């Protein structure tokens, strides 16, 4: 069930990306991906500064989902390095989100 919800979330993020016209803003996929990764990184650090703000972590994860969609348009060599950056940052954000969640529960 959790896997289905994760897939649904990714598809919804894709739809939001298309509806908002993010790619239609004239930016190349490379520029858009970099902006999304920077946004996710910013939410990571702000979330930590705000003592584990889960909403900020969720925004960062959403930006990474959007970056991952755009990453599929890149050449294979570039795609691998960008995907590695996305995966690394996603892991960091998820760890902080879990710690924040555990802190509020305990």
- Residue 2 pLDDT greater than 90, yes or no: no
Query: What's the structural domain count of the chain?
Result: 1
Q: What is the DSSP letter of 22?
A: G
Q: To which H or E segment does residue 54 belong? A: helix 54-71
- Residue 5 pLDDT greater than 70, yes or no: no
- Residue 20 pLDDT greater than 60, yes or no: no
Q: What is the pTM of this model?
A: 0.72
pLDDT recorded at residue 29: 86
Please tell me the distance from the alpha carbon of residue 74 to that of residue 26, in angstroms, as a whole number: 16
23 and 17 Cβ atoms separated by less than 8 Å: yes
Compute the 3-state secondary structure of the chain and give helix, strand, coil in percent, each to the nearest 5: 85, 0, 15
Q: What is the mean pLDDT of residues 24-29?
A: 67
CB count within 10 Å of CB 86 equals: 20
Which structural domain range is residue 28 located in?
2-105
- Residue 23 pLDDT greater than 50, yes or no: no
66 and 17 Cβ atoms separated by less than 8 Å: yes
Closest listed residue to residue 93, CA positions, set 59, 70, 50, 51: 59
Reported as a pLDDT band with limits 50, 70 and 90, residue 9 is: low
CB count within 10 Å of CB 66 equals: 25
């Amino acid at each position: 069930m959790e896997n289905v919800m994760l897939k649904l979330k990714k598809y919804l993020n894709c739809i939001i990306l298309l509806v908002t016209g993010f790619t239609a803003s004239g930016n190349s996929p490379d520029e858009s991906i970099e902006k999304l990764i920077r946004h996710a990184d910013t939410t990571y650090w702000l979330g930590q500064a705000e003592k584990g703000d889960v909403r900020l972590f969720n925004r960062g994860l959403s930006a990474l989902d959007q970056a991952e969609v755009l990453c599929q348009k890149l050449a294979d060599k570039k795609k691998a390095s960008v995907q590695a950056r996305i995966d690394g940052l996603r892991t960091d954000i998820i760890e902080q989100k879990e710690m924040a969640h555990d802190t509020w529960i305990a």
